């Protein structure tokens, strides 16, 4: 029998029919309806696509043949509504495939359904979606890619797409105990994806293995200058732990996860030093916030002009700009971040990866807020690739992940490093009960 | 009788019915069909929209009530196909309004039709569109915003939208003897507009007066930090002529236009010095090209994967990258441009505007190519606002414009400066015969 527990890589190796795998996932989703990961899911459409894929002769199948992928509901799909969790688009959903969807369909993927998002992926007010690992489902899955994180964590789909402007990929990955990559900014086309910040928005992928992330990276031609190494050896590898200037916000779960991570790597013969970034990097948080707010002002001007009363007050605030941030502030922030990017590349070039918190701590209780993205903002602003690796555990038994960071356009190398690190972090104390 | 010759501002002041103005334009377009400025135009849809607008009570009318606007066919419109001059989108046109279209409709604009573009606005192979000023219509209107430039130049519509990644707004404006602004990069949302280069693409507006450009700028909330000055005095104003490091490519028409421009301003009591930019700005051309090529590689990966055989060889070349540009080259170019931006702002801050060529020379003969964007690339890469002002004339009697440039986010001030400069440049020797 085909199991919903298979990863994408396992499914491809199994030779199972697409329809059988899709049906197994649909059955599991029906049984786990209370997680509410989906904004739109039409089982009949899923199955009819699956049957079409099964009918394709093996010689004509793509590298993602039949692989089910959940799609955050700010990414346009021509056969399913895209509504951004906004009533403005209730009857006005775009009908076109995003560039990424076009690539995935061309590779044979089964676009499964649309996963929940906070409003326009731009606020931290929670969605209906629940963290599948929490008892009584009483904790947030994080956001803004709430549904993608929860669906993959709950084995409802092996792969899902998200976006990150502050911490919308890495945070839900950590909260849901799964892997995710936020690639180098600009490395994957954002065409057909709702804008929040022109200078910060980045696509992201969720999976339950590094292998699956690599499968997706390969299909969408995410490539480094150098071919990825075949196997990365931890013996003799060089890591640095970076607590960053926002460490004061970190709770006991993340503090302990970072300690464990360093110890586990040292036990494999890797060197792990502590790195304090130069003073100038403390400005990244402020610059990130200024760029985010003023980019969002431009972005949401159109919805504001059209239907201000249908926008979250936070989005109205971006446009009305009560703190009177100026274009001068915007440019200063943009120019500051741009100047820091080559500097962080140089620093990151000294290590196989930097190890840094993904989140403040385990997923907080309640669905009102998706939690703090404070630990992610810096790396989003610096445009560098980040991978979340799960394995650690918080005070309430919830998963906690750790971020591995590399210089810009070293995404594939970073994934290879993570492939060796991931099994080691399994010693971190958390294991999914699902 | 309502005349197609009215500008948008004149139409708004006239109190004419939208339907009458629209009908006058449609009649003129029918009479001038050989210009072929339109990729999509449905007269019945135009008139039915016009009648709906006329039915709106005066108290509920927007600032652009009934103003007809032509839309470059890479900008999404929900009621008209968007096909990017590509067969890939023949049956797959996006159905959604771009952010800019949403703002314009909310302001009461009449979205008139779709104007021609070169393939994905990313190649210089000409479209079917002809330069309305050329004898036997034998010259190019420029590109990639070919139809928008020709339609406004030919009085077929008072306002039109374009985009610029190298010189796709300023060049057709110069070739068609009209005004255009390429605003500060990022100042107007690009959501719902085909990507070419994430780091370079900029929206642009075409009009037959600075007043009309200001009307559009106001409606879409293009704002400086400071309120725009009421009237800019040329007496005592400070300009600089900048020939740039690509001056060697300039022909006699542009050389003479730049000379005349300086003389005309001096005659008004303005100071006009010659400015040579620091040596480091000579690298902008190379950096622009590297960013353009490698951004386009990411952009067109999706169409390449889906239907390589339906792409122009130039676009295939962006993806296949035969010159082996690396991510390292890309980052070096991005970081170089980012470092130069605050420097050019400082330099531009010393003047009321910089005066620089818009084009190599008047529009060349033939429709095979849309002409050279070499003189525009630098300012696009530096993200600064540029306005083309017509008034000068080439060897064959074709119009030549001159660019006025200001620092980032000084768009509205620049337009006010141009409002005073434009009548002076009417002494440059060219007058539309249309």
- Residue A1 domain-assigned? no
What's the pLDDT tens digit per position in A325-367?
Answer: 999 999 999 999 999 999 999 999 999 999 999 999 999 999 9
Residue A93 reports pLDDT greater than 80: no
- Answer yes or no: do B306 and A198 touch at CB < 8 A: no
Tell which A residues from 298 to 317 touch B, by Cβ distance under 8 Å.
298-299, 301-303, 305-306
Q: Residues of A with CB below 8 A from B100's CB?
A: 302
For residue B191, list its beta bridge partners: none
State which residue of chain A sits closest to B332, comparing Cα positions. A342
- Nearest by CB to residue A224, choosing from B99, B303, B327, is B327
ipTM: 0.95
E-strand ranges in A81-201 read: 110-115, 159-164, 179-182
- Residue B433 domain-assigned? no
Report the distance separating Cα B63 and Cα A60, nearest Å.
55
Q: How confident is the model at residue A90, as a pLDDT?
A: 84
- Residue A144 domain-assigned? yes
Does residue B345 sit at the A interface (CB-CB below 8 Å)?
Answer: yes
- Nearest by CB to residue B195, choosing from A189, A305, A345, is A189
- Residue B31 domain-assigned? yes
* φ, ψ of residue A420 in degrees (nearest 5): -85, -30
Average pLDDT in chain A:
97
Q: How many CA atoms lie within 13 A of A224 on its CB side?
A: 17
Spans of chain B below 50 pLDDT: none
Q: How confident is the model at residue B1, as a pLDDT?
A: 75
Query: Are the C-beta atoms of A159 and A115 separated by less than 8 Å?
Result: no
Number of structural domains, chain B? 1
- Residue A318 domain-assigned? no
What's the pLDDT tens digit per position in A9-34?
Answer: 999 999 999 999 999 999 999 999 99
Does residue A100 sit at the B interface (CB-CB below 8 Å)?
Answer: yes
Query: Are the C-beta atoms of B396 and B347 separated by less than 8 Å?
Result: no
Query: Are the C-beta atoms of A82 and A88 separated by less than 8 Å?
Result: no
Q: How confident is the model at residue B93, as a pLDDT?
A: 76
CATH number at residue B111: 3.90.1300.10
Which residues span the domain enclosing B358?
Answer: 8-280+334-428
Q: How confident is the model at residue A54, as a pLDDT?
A: 98
Q: How confident is the model at residue A358, as a pLDDT?
A: 98
Instruction: Cis check for the bond before A184: say yes or no (omega within 30 of 0).
Output: no
Report the distance separating Cα B157 and Cα B164, nearest Å.
20
B122, B134, B168, B372: which one is catalytic?
B168
- Residue B285 domain-assigned? no
Q: Among this protein's residues, is B432 annotated catalytic?
A: no
- Answer yes or no: do A95 and B96 touch at CB < 8 A: yes
Query: Are the C-beta atoms of B130 and B86 separated by less than 8 Å?
Result: no
Does residue A368 sit at the B interface (CB-CB below 8 Å)?
Answer: no
Average pLDDT over residues A37-51: 98
Considering only CA atoms, which of B75, B429, B409, B416 is closest in space to residue B222?
Answer: B409
- Residue A212 domain-assigned? yes
Q: CA dihedral in degrees (A97, A103, A109, A114; nearest 10)?
A: -30
Cβ neighbours of A387 (radius 10 Å): 30
- Residue A290 domain-assigned? no
Q: Pairing mode, if any, of strands B179-182 and B202-207?
A: antiparallel
């Amino acid at each position: 029998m085909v199991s919903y527990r298979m990863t994408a890589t396992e499914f491809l190796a199994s030779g199972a029919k697409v329809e059988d795998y899709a049906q197994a996932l649909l059955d599991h989703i029906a049984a786990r309806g209370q997680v509410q990961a989906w904004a739109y899911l039409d089982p009949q459409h899923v199955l009819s696509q699956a049957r079409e894929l099964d009918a394709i002769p093996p010689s004509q199948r793509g590298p993602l043949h039949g692989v089910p992928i959940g799609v955050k509901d700010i990414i346009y799909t021509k056969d399913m509504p895209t509504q951004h969790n906004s009533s403005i688009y209730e009857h006005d959903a775009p009908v076109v495939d995003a560039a990424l969807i076009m690539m995935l369909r061309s590779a044979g993927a089964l676009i499964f359904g649309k996963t929940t998002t906070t409003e326009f992926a731009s606020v931290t007010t929670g969605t209906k979606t629940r963290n599948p690992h929490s008892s009584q489902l009483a904790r947030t899955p994080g956001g803004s890619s709430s549904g993608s994180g929860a669906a993959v964590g709950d084995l409802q789909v092996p792969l899902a797409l998200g976006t990150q402007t502050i911490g919308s990929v890495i945070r839900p990955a950590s909260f849901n105990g799964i892997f995710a990559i936020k690639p180098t900014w600009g490395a994957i086309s954002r065409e057909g994806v709702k804008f929040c910040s022109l200078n910060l928005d980045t696509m992201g992928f969720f999976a339950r293995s590094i292998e699956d992330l690599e499968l997706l990276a390969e299909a969408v031609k995410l490539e480094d200058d150098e071919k990825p190494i075949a196997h990365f050896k931890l013996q003799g590898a060089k890591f640095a732990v970076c607590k960053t200037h926002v460490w004061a916000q970190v709770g006991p779960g993340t503090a302990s996860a970072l300690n464990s991570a360093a110890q586990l790597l040292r036990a494999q013969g890797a060197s792990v030093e502590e790195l304090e970034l130069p003073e100038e990097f403390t400005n990244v948080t402020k610059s990130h916030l200024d760029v985010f707010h003023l980019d969002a002002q431009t972005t949401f001007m159109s919805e504001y002009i059209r239907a201000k009363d249908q926008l979250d007050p936070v989005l109205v605030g971006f446009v009305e700009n009560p703190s009177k941030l100026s274009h001068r502030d915007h440019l200063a922030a943009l120019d500051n971040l741009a100047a820091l990017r080559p500097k962080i590349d140089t620093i990151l070039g000294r290590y196989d990866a930097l190890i840094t918190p993904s989140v403040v701590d385990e997923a907080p209780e309640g669905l009102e807020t998706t939690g703090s993205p404070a630990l992610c903002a810096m790396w989003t602003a610096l445009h560098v690739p980040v991978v979340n690796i799960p394995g650690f555990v918080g005070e309430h038994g919830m998963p906690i992940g750790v971020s591995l960071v590399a210089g810009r356009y070293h995404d594939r190398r970073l994934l290879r490093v993570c492939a060796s690190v991931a099994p080691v972090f399994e010693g971190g104390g958390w294991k999914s009960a699902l």
